């Protein structure tokens, strides 16, 4: 789905005061019924992460951590079954999963009498039943399952969705009998930084030659696309020639402005692929 920059900005404006909970996606779907849930979630997630990066440091000063922790302890004591940590995160405009990390880290410092182990902390965030305090375990769990932008559950889902789209891309290429090398094969050949797919025989898409394809299971906004161009796409272009980037959840249409320089953007697998070896049209 290609969005104009104006359409994208309208969605962004609606995300500015939303929290990363399930309710926010319901509101966005109602406001923008013609856009897919995946596109709306990807845009919201990107915008929310930018917001958190701007404000995150103020939640990590020792006095603020202590204030959050003492507030949690007193609230949890007064209302042991309430999701007090989730409510606190929403009140101070911090990601629930990041709030959970801060509070659990502080709890473990008391428990272990010093700086907590990163491994223990991460394991407990992934598996709250390991936390020796049942009330805290329940609160951490509530924060994790109600955060659609951060946390171990989100990391796991994002990884799975990324893998799923890479498999989809490989299946589409095989359907069209296109010969290719994937990232794993290229790594085994000694390449360090590679796109997801290198085509052994280049193709033409909409009149543009394509040697490689990169799959992105996300929305392409200005910031992420600029980062990818600088850190990935131009280096692929230097090494392998012109290529195609598929943003499966759409992108800002105005960003597709590098075609003449050798980087083409699409929001789905192209249907008009022409193989360059013999010019046969692939259905």
d(C-alpha 63, C-alpha 106), whole Å: 12
Confidence label for 55 from pLDDT (cuts 50, 70 and 90): confident
Mean pLDDT, residues 238-254 taken together: 97
80-91 pLDDT, tens digit each: 999 999 999 999
pLDDT of residue 279 exceeding 50, the answer is no
Token code pair at residue 2: 């290609």
Q: Contact, 252 vs 221, CB < 8 A?
A: yes
Mean pLDDT value across the chain: 93
Using the predicted structure, report yes or no on whether residue 262 has a pLDDT greater than 90: yes
What local confidence, expressed as pLDDT, does residue 277 receive?
A: 63
Average pLDDT over residues 36-51: 93
**Span 190-221, pLDDT tens digits:** 888 899 999 999 999 999 999 999 999 999 99
Alpha-carbon dihedral sign for residues 221, 183, 153, 250: positive
Kindly report, residue by residue over 137-196, the tens digit of the pLDDT.
Answer: 999 999 999 998 999 999 999 999 999 999 999 999 999 999 999 988 998 998 888 999
Q: What pLDDT score was predicted for residue 222?
A: 96
CA-CA distance, 76 to 200, in Å (whole number)?
60
pLDDT of residue 25: 87
For 11-34, what is the mean pLDDT?
Answer: 88
Q: What is the mean pLDDT of residues 243-272?
A: 97
pLDDT 10s digits, 123-133: 999 999 999 99
pLDDT of 282 over the 50 cut: no
The per-residue DSSP string of 69-80 comes to: HHHHHHHHHH-T
pLDDT over threshold 60, residue 258: yes
Distance CA 40, CA 126 (A): 26
Is 5 within 8 Å of 13 (Cβ atoms)?
no
Contact assessment for residue 125 and residue 100, using Cβ atoms and an 8 Å cutoff: yes
pLDDT of 192: 82
Residue 117: predicted pLDDT: 87
Instruction: Say whether pLDDT at 16 is over 90.
Output: no
């Amino acid at each position: 789905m290609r969005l104009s920059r104006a359409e994208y900005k309208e969605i962004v404006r609606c995300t500015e005061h939303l929290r990363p909970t399930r309710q926010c996606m319901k509101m966005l779907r109602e406001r923008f019924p013609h856009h897919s849930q995946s596109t709306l979630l990807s845009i919201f997630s990107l915008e929310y992460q930018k917001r958190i990066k701007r404000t995150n440091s103020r939640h990590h000063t020792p006095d603020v951590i202590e204030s959050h922790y003492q507030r949690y302890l007193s609230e949890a004591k007064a209302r042991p079954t309430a999701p007090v940590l989730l409510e606190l995160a929403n009140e101070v405009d911090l990601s629930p999963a990041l709030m959970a990390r801060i509070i659990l880290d502080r709890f473990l410092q008391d428990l272990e009498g010093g700086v907590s182990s990163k491994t223990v902390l991460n394991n407990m965030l992934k598996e709250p039943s390991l936390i020796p305090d049942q009330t805290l375990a329940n609160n951490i769990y509530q924060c994790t399952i109600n955060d659609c932008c951060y946390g171990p559950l989100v990391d796991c889902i994002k990884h799975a969705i990324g893998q799923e789209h890479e498999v989809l891309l490989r299946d589409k290429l095989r359907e069209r009998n296109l010969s290719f090398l994937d990232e794993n094969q290229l790594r085994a050949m000694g390449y360090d930084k590679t796109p997801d797919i290198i085509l052994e025989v280049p193709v033409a898409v909409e009149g543009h030659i394509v040697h490689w394809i990169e799959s992105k299971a996300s929305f392409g906004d200005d910031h992420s696309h600029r980062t990818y161009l600088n850190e990935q796409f131009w280096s692929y272009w230097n090494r392998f020639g012109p290529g195609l980037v598929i943003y499966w959840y759409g992108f800002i249409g105005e960003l597709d402005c590098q075609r003449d320089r050798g980087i083409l953007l699409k929001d789905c697998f192209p249907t008009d692929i022409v193989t360059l070896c013999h010019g046969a049209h692939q259905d």
